[in-house]
Amino acid sequence: MKSKVKRMEMPEFSRLTQVVKKLRDPNGGCPWDLKQTHSSLLKYLIEESYEFIAAVEDGNPKEMEDEIGDVLLQVLLHCQFASEENNFDIESVSKNLADKMIRRHPHVFESEDKNIDADQVVSNWEEIKKTEKGETEKSLIDDSYLKFPALFAANKIGKKTKKIKFDWDNASQVAYKVEEEWQELKEEIGPMENGGSVNQERLFEEMGDFLFSAAQLARHLDIDPEEACRQANKKFLKRFQQMESLIKEAGKDINNMNQEQMDHYWDQVKMNEKA
């Protein structure tokens, strides 16, 4: 027996769609918005998504509300562009998405058997997805993985190959592989120490191998490499800003300091963290 999903009245959402439509109105709309296209706004979709991620990681509900609103604006603008070209609109997107969620959650909307765990949900999702697309899997890992941020993709690729046991047995084995890749990278860097030239193509390749292996080590340690790198960026930025403040309080200009002088204040910041 299928469950019925009730429709909800959302007056503020309707008002928002009308605001976006007005921004794109050739008669009295916004000149900036009228110039935009799917392609020109892609960078903003990525930027706003990462700002929402930052708000989530900061645990700031108010910022989360603001940033998810900015993401929603990007979605609505893309739907408005498509509507103007008679391709699709927010209504068709919403209908297709709702239908897809119902199809891919039969344990919620159709099945009488509610005793299903999260792992089985994921497995069923993938099988239903393949059926919908009429897929005959050509490869366990297709080119779609290349669309993701690199560390995120490396993590997903590793999870895929793990399913057929094409993987290291434990984190120690991966750590050994990371060390091996690091040694190969060091060999390529070596000539630089004596002012020699390096093979940039080989250096590029070895750096990629090292980063890929590091991502696999993170996976084996149950760490999301993309998230870990974001947190490392955040920590560095916080320390750098604190270092700037200390230098300013000392009446000095960071632009006129050498590495050794800056290291002194950097070490002070790290000591303050431990205090």
Residues 78 and 71: beta-carbon distance below 8 Å: no
Q: In the listed set 70, 85, 103, which residue is the last one of a domain according to the structure?
A: 103
Q: Are residues 265 and 203 in the same domain?
A: no
Q: Are residues 61 and 98 in the same domain?
A: yes
Q: Are residues 20 and 79 in the same domain?
A: yes
Q: For 50-94, how does the pLDDT look when each residue is reduced to its tens digit (9 = 90+)?
A: 999 999 989 999 999 999 999 999 999 999 999 999 999 999 999
Average pLDDT over every residue of 90-108:
91
C-alpha 56/C-alpha 68 separation (Å) is 10
- Residue ranges of alpha helices (H) inside 24-60 are 31-35, 42-58
Q: Are residues 250 and 180 in the same domain?
A: no
pLDDT for res 115: 75
Residues 76 and 16: beta-carbon distance below 8 Å: yes
Confirm whether 118 is domain-assigned. no
pLDDT for res 3: 56
Q: What are phi and psi of 188, to 5 degrees?
A: -75, -30
Q: Are residues 165 and 249 in the same domain?
A: no
| CATH code (residue 52) | 1.10.287.1080
Q: Are residues 200 and 247 in the same domain?
A: no
Number of domains in the chain: 3
Q: Are residues 173 and 219 in the same domain?
A: yes
Average pLDDT over every residue of 18-26:
97
Confirm whether 74 is domain-assigned. yes
Q: For 184-201, how does the pLDDT look when each residue is reduced to its tens digit (9 = 90+)?
A: 999 999 988 888 889 999
pLDDT for res 269: 97
pLDDT for res 136: 58
Confirm whether 268 is domain-assigned. yes
What domain range includes position 250?
Answer: 229-274
pLDDT for res 1: 47
Q: Are residues 19 and 98 in the same domain?
A: yes
Confirm whether 116 is domain-assigned. no
Q: Are residues 180 and 211 in the same domain?
A: yes
Q: Are residues 19 and 64 in the same domain?
A: yes
Residues 149 and 226: beta-carbon distance below 8 Å: yes
Q: Are residues 182 and 244 in the same domain?
A: no
Confirm whether 139 is domain-assigned. no
On average, the pLDDT of the chain sits at 91
Confirm whether 110 is domain-assigned. no
Confirm whether 134 is domain-assigned. no
Least confident of 27-36, 49-58, 131-140, 251-260: 131-140
Residues 32 and 6: beta-carbon distance below 8 Å: no
pLDDT for res 17: 96
